[in-house]
Amino acid sequence: MPFGRSHHRAAPLLAALLALGASVAAQAPEGFDSSRAYAHVRDQVALGPRPAGSPANQKLREYIVRTLARSGYKVVEQPFAASTPVGQVKMANLIATLPGERPERIAIASHFDTKPIDEFRFVGANDGGSSTGVLLELARVLKDRPKPRLTIEFLFFDGEEAWGEWRAPNHTYGSRHYVTAARTAGTLASLEALLLLDMIGDRSLNLRRDTNSTPWLTDLVWATARRLGHGAHFLDEPFPVEDDHIPFLRAGVPAVDLIDLDYADWHQAGDTLDKVSARSLQVVGDVVLAALPEIEARLLKAK
């Protein structure tokens, strides 16, 4: 057969295959984009130190609300006044909800405040910035996917950090307020699980198994990480952590804390943007997205 005629007959087939490929690509769910998450970290750092009650903290709350609005969310602000070692401090949690097929909720959370430090300028690129950037990107990605089976709540906590020494009740102001308010409103019972993100941007990402977290939920997330080829970052080493998940655990809500405390610049002036790795943000984002359907299935099976 002459080459010209063969080429002519193959052209429609090639066009059909290209169209099919484009259709499949259009139907595939959009993945987590670490460049977007990193840009959110950069924008937070540009505001400087952001301790609870500060003007920069207020600007960051406005940034979070604008970013979520662009993704199609209506944000609920949860203001409160916290009694701290420096007196009453006005704080506010932010809550965005992605309705699911059922009203029961899975929450994904981060704190957005930075530790109040007078001795040096602390911008918290990793501690506060990294997890908040990932949470904003997770909210964007999940908004464009098919409706989840369970409702997903994105929680941005204010006031996680302590003024000076970490000693109860001088920490986790926002998460404790959320739990108290949810219990009062009668909505805590429909919260089925919490995934807490904190300090997840370290270039040498080492997430150890928090012994305070719920075992089955930790097992599921760690198994998902291994399945995706990220087992080297999710270490099978026990390590107790006090963080924003503790008020939920005490209230009977299963919770897991993804946190890398093996970070040389924790609460140091060196916690700057150059210490944050987009690759680490990608790893955590991919694992959370892949774990969510399995968490849903586990929770629904138990009903």
Instruction: Judge whether 274 lies within some domain.
Output: yes
pLDDT of 17: 46
If pLDDT is split at 50, 70 and 90, which confidence band does 80 have?
A: very high
Is the model's pLDDT at 275 over the cut of 50? yes
Which position has the token pair 């709350």?
A: 61
**β-pair type (102-111, 76-84):** unpaired
- Tell me whether residue 201 is in a domain: yes
Return the minimum-mean-pLDDT range out of 11-15, 158-162, 209-213, 278-282: 11-15
**Strand 87-98 to strand 150-157: parallel, antiparallel, or no bridges (unpaired)?**
antiparallel
* pLDDT, average across residues 239-264: 97
Span 165-193, mean pLDDT?
97
Q: Which of 5-14, 127-136, 170-179, 275-284 has the lowest mean pLDDT?
A: 5-14
* Stretch 269-283: mean pLDDT: 98
In a domain, 241, yes or no: yes
**Measured between alpha carbons, how far is 87 from 112 in angstroms, rounded to an integer?**
20
Tokens, residue 64: 């979070």
Instruction: State the Cα–Cα distance between residues 282 and 288, nearest whole angstrom.
Output: 10
The predicted model gives 237-251 an average pLDDT of: 97
Can you give the CATH number for the domain in which 187 is found? 3.40.630.10
CA atoms of 212 and 239, how far apart (whole Å): 8
pLDDT tops 70 at residue 12: no
Which pLDDT belongs to residue 22?
A: 47
Question: What pTM was computed for the model?
Answer: 0.91
Position 110 in a domain: yes
* Spatial distance between the Cα atoms of 85 and 170, rounded to a whole number of angstroms: 7
In this structure, is residue 30 part of a structural domain?
Answer: no
pLDDT for residue 23: 45
User: Which candidate, 182, 205, 207, places its Cα nearest to that of 196?
Assistant: 207
Cβ neighbours for 243, distance < 8 A, ≥ 6 positions apart:
160, 172, 196, 198, 210, 257, 259
Asked if pLDDT for residue 3 goes beyond 50, the answer is no
Rounded average pLDDT over 95-106: 98
Query: Which two structure tokens, joined as six digits, stand for 173?
Result: 């102001």
The yes-or-no verdict on residue 42 having pLDDT over 90 is yes
Model confidence at 190, pLDDT cuts 50, 70, 90, reads very high
Tell me, rounded to whole angstroms, the distance of Cα 230 from its chain centroid: 17
pLDDT above 70 as % of the chain: 91
- The answer to the question of residue 92 being in a domain is yes
Q: Within 10 A of 24 (CB to CB), how many other CB atoms are there? A: 9
The predicted model gives 32-50 an average pLDDT of 98
At 5, is the pLDDT very low, low, confident or very high (cuts 50, 70, 90)? very low
pLDDT of 14 over the 60 cut: no
Confidence of residue 228 (pLDDT cuts 50, 70, 90): very high
Is residue 3 included in any domain, yes or no?
no
| pLDDT score of 180 | 98
β-pair partners for 108? 154, 195
**Residues in contact with 238: Cβ distance below 8 Å, sequence separation at least 6, in sequence order:** 208, 209, 211
Q: How confident is the model at residue 302 (pLDDT cuts 50, 70, 90)?
A: confident
- The answer to whether residue 298 scores a pLDDT higher than 60 is yes
The residue type found at 186 is: G
Check if the beta carbon of residue 275 is closer than 8 Å to that of residue 202.
yes
Q: Judge whether residue 251 has pLDDT over 80.
A: yes
Q: Provide mean pLDDT across the span 106-121.
A: 98
Predicted confidence at residue 30, as pLDDT, reads 83
The total of structural domains in the chain comes to 1
The mean pLDDT of 24-32, rounded to a whole number, is 66
**How many other C-beta atoms are found inside a 10 Å radius of the C-beta of residue 28?**
8
Query: Does some domain include residue 130?
Result: yes
Domain that holds residue 135: 41-301
CA distance 165 to 116: 11
d(CA 266, CA 199): 9
- Decide if pLDDT at 10 tops 70: no
